[in-house]
Amino acid sequence: MYLGTAIVHDAPYAAALLAWVSFVTFYLAKKAYWAAVRRGYPERSGTYFGRKVIHILGGGVVAFLLPFLFEEPVLPLVMAVLLTIAVYVPHVTGKLYYWFQDPENMYEVHFTLAWGAVAFLLWFLDHSYWLAAVPLLYMSWGDGVTGIVRNLRYRRRVKGWEGSLAMLAVSIPIGAALGYVGITSAILATLSEKQPFIDDNITIPLTAVAVLVLGHFIAPSLMMNLY
């Protein structure tokens, strides 16, 4: 399919999913924030509940649907760029969306940038989007569950092992869709999330992409042929 035709095909899906992510961000995430605060969680903890709702229901749902809906890489990248601008501007103006943005970091900006870069670049290796969807789901669903488990346990942002085990439990079945290399990428992505020095919205996709791309070229027999 020609790029122009593919963009026309994908445009309604992109518009619908952009509207869905906006609904998650400005309604469901805010509901999660206030639900946590009303139950006695600190406001900062509520902010991270809101952020993880966006991870799971926003970035994760769209990542899962990529292989089923999209035929080209341009519109997913455009969606990610628009969302990056939308979450970056409040940091510049000082008018943060308190229910998911933290004045001490811009990790949600890293998330949207990494999401768009992975979806765009890996499409050129795998037009089915499966190779891109797996690391995006680690970052969205795996890390999302991690944050929720730790927030419930500690009521603050901390790199506890409970969250790492939760991420591993979520990520291994996702990685298994791409065989042994996929499982390996899930384990290493989980370990990369545990380190406290670099934002895991960077380390998780970077680690997973490195393993999957190496497997794609060096050990394709150890990867299931989903793409």
Would residue 51 count as lying in a domain?
yes
Q: Are 48 and 147 in contact (CB under 8 A)?
A: yes
Torsion of the alpha carbons at 205, 207, 211 and 212, rounded to the nearest 10: 0
Q: pLDDT, tens digit, for every residue of 123-177?
A: 999 999 999 999 999 999 999 999 999 999 998 878 888 999 999 999 999 999 9
Would residue 50 count as lying in a domain?
yes
Q: pLDDT, tens digit, for every residue of 65-80?
A: 999 999 999 999 999 9
- Residue 220, C-beta contacts closer than 8 angstroms, at least 6 positions apart: none
Torsion of the alpha carbons at 7, 85, 212 and 194, rounded to the nearest 10: -160
Domains identified in the chain, total number: 1
Would residue 164 count as lying in a domain?
yes
The confidence score (pLDDT) of residue 155 equals 85
Mean pLDDT of the chain: 95
Over residues 95-103, mean pLDDT: 97
Would residue 227 count as lying in a domain?
no
Would residue 217 count as lying in a domain?
yes
By CB neighbour count within 10 A (0-12 exposed, 13-18 middle, 19+ buried), where does 120 fall? middle
What is the domain range of residue 184? 3-222
Q: pLDDT, tens digit, for every residue of 10-19?
A: 999 999 999 9
Would residue 173 count as lying in a domain?
yes
Instruction: Report the C-alpha gap between 55 and 87 in whole angstroms.
Output: 14
Would residue 205 count as lying in a domain?
yes
Would residue 35 count as lying in a domain?
yes
Neighbouring CB atoms inside 10 A of 185's CB total: 29
